[in-house]
């Protein structure tokens, strides 16, 4: 009896779909017959996205603005760009005539404020909102995508602190968050002076005060007294079943608020936890940051100036219960790190292992002043505990972190304009190399790995993959090996004259499906965009995400915005596997620094082989295609 694939019931075919490693395989299956084409269109692409990107929250196509097929196209496109380091940057800086108002300090022509940034994306309207605090001012840019190859619709808005009688330094914005408010959006802004307000984010009434979060700072207090107790250091929003909940961290107190729908209201805290009663025993100790954890039943705390810098609070029927984050002796011994130490207060970042409605997690990333980035389960020693570090410059610490599910995380440097991309080193569900043709050689060029041993006996593999026996070719087998997937660090300072005083202070992205993210730096904002270099010269392929990308993301800012854009030319350094090593305390041979050069004429002669290069075409060199092939 002859059996055909199409004779199988749908449930069995769904298992087949879940086992396919690349979108190319699923697309080929859809083209084989009408039944499979219909089944792939209705359920196959959804299964593929959920199976291959299980930890990322992607916008389901219920709004009709996109399809599961387009989601699969975008997620695989983005994954390939991340793996090939196809990331480009543009900085937005205040125009010179706007950097000196009200005595704003300047360094080399750069305003001295530390930018805090947040972003949101509405998949139904294809509209992105990015908001940042620039000293005493708050700025926003709305960008609505009009479709592939079309110019976006953009508008800028500003809340001018000078018009409100605010001054630099004392009234600077320390934290911003975009929140839902009715059918629209609003901004929660916390300032150095202790003011915490809910402001309209609607274009026609941008910056109008909707509500004030109490208690209102005592106006009779001096600047020093306010900074000692009421300065807002961080904000975090939880979307709970009861509505959004806001956790505001001041120096000595943690306050939790609900959000009011009424204009002109003063919102009293639902709960207040005074840390002076139990934790902050030293006069110099303070609360630096707080993040919601679990399903909203606990909050992680970053403390400065005291022992046990990472702690958390849990909500019980009788009130708050405080705990010190559990220590894992296995991790401490393996990585030889000390439990005590100084933490970067703005670095707390929850890590989600799966997508879902509740998205609860107890896994937390945090950056420490000894250069380590620690992943820890707050409640108990966990098999997922790990310590990451820059293998080339182990003493550089990150001020802020941003995790993409369990795929990767981005670290912003506090000692210069650098951005580093780390792989979590867990089992990956999708490799872009699975969709490329076979190759009878190893990946090229060979990476620089400071501590990871070279593959002593490389698998011989096969010239072509044998799918019947599940035997991969040499290139497909080695491409998945950690040795050939080092982390990467982007250096952006060479494009800016004031690089010596510039650092990264915050990171934000609009969603897990967004092909861009934002970097708050000293005096400005950097937009980072996944953008591939065209395969040939001149360009003949779309460089940005085909469904969520904005072709004109480098468009000049209007003069009325008070800002100007400047492209940054990145230089790339591969920094090893990213794990912390006990021996990583001495000088090592520095890896090469590759400057992005864009499309090159000689690239066309390489043909399909250029696609097998580990890096984007903008980082490829002719020497890579010579003796590096093995």
Chain segment 6-20, per-residue pLDDT in tens = 888 999 999 999 999
Does residue 550 sit within a domain? Answer: yes
State the pTM of this model.
0.93
Q: Which two tokens stand for residue 302?
A: 């970053």
CA quadruple 434, 438, 440, 445: dihedral sign: negative
Chain segment 304-315, per-residue pLDDT in tens: 988 888 989 988
* pLDDT for the residue numbered 282: 64
| Total structural domains within the chain | 2
Looking at the structure, tell me whether residues 533 and 513 fall in a common domain. yes
Residue 448 scores a pLDDT above 60: yes
> Tokens standing for 501?
């005083």
In a domain, 604, yes or no: no
Residues 155, 39 share a domain: no
Which segment of 43-52, 92-101, 338-347, 462-471 scores lowest on mean pLDDT?
A: 92-101
Which pair of tokens denotes residue 322?
């405080």
Same domain, 95 and 139: yes
Cβ-contact 201, 185 below 8 angstroms: yes
- The phi-psi region of residue 510 (left if phi > 0; otherwise alpha if psi is between -120 and 50; otherwise beta) is alpha
- Could you tell me if 271 and 342 lie in one domain? yes
What's the confidence (pLDDT) of residue 385? 81
Residue 117 has pLDDT above 90, yes or no: yes
- Looking at the fold, whether 533 and 563 belong to one and the same domain comes out as yes
% residues pLDDT > 70 (the chain): 89
Q: Are 238 and 296 in contact (CB under 8 A)?
A: yes
Highest mean pLDDT among 78-87, 222-231, 232-241, 320-329: 78-87
To the nearest whole number, what is the mean pLDDT of the chain? 86
pLDDT for res 108: 47
Q: Are 69 and 130 within one domain?
A: no
Q: Which residues pair with 312 in a beta bridge?
A: 300, 323
Assigned domain for 626 exists: no
Strands (E), 241-337: 243-249, 253-258, 265-267, 271-274, 286-293, 298-304, 310-316, 319-324
Q: Reply yes or no on whether the pLDDT at 463 is more than 80.
A: yes
Q: Which pLDDT does position 103 carry in this prediction?
A: 42
For the cut 70, the answer to whether the pLDDT of residue 539 exceeds it is: no
DSSP 188-255: EEEETTS-EEEEE-SGGGTT-EEEEESSPPPTTS-HHHHHHHT---EEEEEEETTEEEEEEE-SSEEE
Residue-wise pLDDT for 43-71, tens only, equals: 999 999 999 999 999 988 876 778 999 99
First vs last Cα of the chain: how many Å apart?
A: 46
**Which CATH number characterizes residue 48's domain?**
1.20.1280
pLDDT of residue 541: 67
Give residue 27's domain range.
5-83
Per-residue pLDDT band at 214 (split at 50, 70, 90) = confident
Residues 216 and 252 in one domain: yes
Q: What is the pLDDT of residue 183?
A: 83
pLDDT of 251 > 70? The answer is yes
- Is the pLDDT reported for residue 110 higher than 60? no
Strand-pair category, 209-213 with 286-293? unpaired
**DSSP character string of 354-382:** S--SS--B-EEEEEBTTS-EEEEESSS--
Q: Where are the alpha helices (DSSP H) in 53-129?
A: 68-83
User: Would you say 343 and 310 are in contact if contact means Cβ atoms under 8 Å apart?
Assistant: yes
For residue 226, pLDDT beyond 60? no
163 plus 192 within the same structural domain: yes
CA separation for the pair 339, 316 (Å, rounded): 27
Q: Which of 536, 551, 568 is the last residue of a domain?
A: 568
In this structure, are 304 and 202 located in the same domain? Answer: yes
């Amino acid at each position: 009896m002859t059996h055909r694939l199409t004779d199988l019931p749908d449930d069995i075919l769904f298992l087949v779909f879940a086992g396919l490693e690349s979108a190319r395989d699923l697309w080929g299956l859809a083209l084989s017959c009408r039944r499979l084409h219909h089944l792939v269109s209705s359920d196959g692409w959804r299964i593929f996205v959920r199976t291959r990107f299980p930890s990322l929250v992607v916008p389901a196509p219920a709004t009709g603005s996109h399809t599961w097929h387009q989601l699969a196209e975008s997620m695989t496109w983005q994954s390939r760009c991340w793996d090939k380091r196809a990331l480009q940057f543009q900085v937005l800086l205040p125009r010179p005539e706007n950097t000196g108002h009200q005595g704003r300090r300047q360094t080399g022509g750069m305003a001295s404020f530390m930018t805090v940034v947040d972003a949101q994306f509405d998949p139904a309207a294809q509209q992105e909102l990015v908001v940042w605090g620039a000293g005493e001012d708050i700025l926003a840019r709305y960008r609505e995508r009009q479709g592939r190859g079309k110019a976006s619709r953009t508008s800028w808005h500003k809340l001018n602190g000078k018009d409100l009688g605010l001054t630099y330094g004392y009234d600077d914005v320390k934290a911003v968050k975009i929140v839902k408010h009715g059918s629209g959006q609003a901004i929660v802004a916390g300032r150095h002076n202790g003011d915490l307000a809910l402001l309209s984010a609607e274009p026609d009434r941008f910056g109008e005060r909707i509500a004030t979060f109490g208690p209102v700072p005592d106006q009779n207090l001096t600047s020093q007294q306010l900074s000692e107790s009421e300065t807002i250091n961080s904000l975090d929003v939880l979307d709970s079943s009861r509505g959004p909940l806001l956790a505001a961290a001041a120096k000595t107190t943690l306050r939790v608020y609900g959000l009011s729908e009424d204009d002109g209201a003063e919102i009293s805290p639902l709960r207040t936890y005074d840390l002076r009663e139990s934790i902050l025993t030293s006069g110099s100790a303070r609360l630096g940051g707080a993040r919601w954890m679990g399903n909203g039943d606990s909050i992680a705390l970053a403390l400065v100036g005291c022992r046990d810098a990472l702690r958390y609070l849990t909500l019980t029927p009788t009130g708050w219960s405080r705990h010190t984050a559990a220590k894992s002796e296995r991790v401490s011994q393996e990585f030889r790190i000390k439990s005590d130490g100084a933490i970067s207060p703005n670095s707390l970042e929850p890590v989600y292992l799966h997508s879902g409605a509740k998205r609860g997690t107890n896994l937390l990333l945090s950056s420490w002043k000894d250069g380590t980035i620690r992943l820890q389960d707050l409640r108990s020693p966990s098999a997922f505990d790990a310590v990451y570090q820059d293998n080339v410059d182990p003493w550089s610490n990150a001020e802020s972190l941003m995790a993409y599910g369990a795929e990767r995380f981005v670290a912003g440097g506090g000692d210069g304009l650098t951005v580093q991309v780390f792989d979590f080193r867990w089992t990956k569900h999708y490799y872009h190399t699975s969709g490329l043709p076979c190759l009878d050689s190893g990946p090229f060029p060979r990476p620089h790995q400071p501590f990871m041993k070279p593959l002593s006996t490389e698998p011989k593999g096969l010239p072509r993959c044998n799918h019947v026996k599940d035997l991969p070719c040499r290139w497909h087998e080695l491409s998945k090996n950690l040795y050939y997937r080092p982390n990467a660090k982007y250096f952006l300072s060479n494009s800016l004259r004031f690089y010596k005083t510039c650092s990264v202070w915050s990171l934000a992205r609009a969603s897990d499906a967004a092909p861009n993210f934002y970097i708050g730096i000293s005096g400005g904002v950097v937009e980072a965009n996944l953008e591939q270099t065209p395969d040939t010269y001149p360009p003949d392929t779309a460089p940005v995400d085909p469904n969520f990308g904005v072709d004109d993301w480098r468009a000049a800012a209007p003069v009325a915005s008070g800002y100007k854009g400047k492209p940054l030319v990145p230089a790339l350094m591969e920094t090893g596997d990213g794990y912390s090593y006990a021996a990583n305390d001495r000088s090592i041979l520095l890896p090469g620094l590759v400057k992005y050069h864009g499309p090159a004429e000689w690239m066309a002669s390489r043909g399909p082989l250029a696609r097998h290069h580990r890096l984007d075409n903008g980082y490829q060199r002719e020497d890579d295609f010579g003796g590096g092939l093995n």
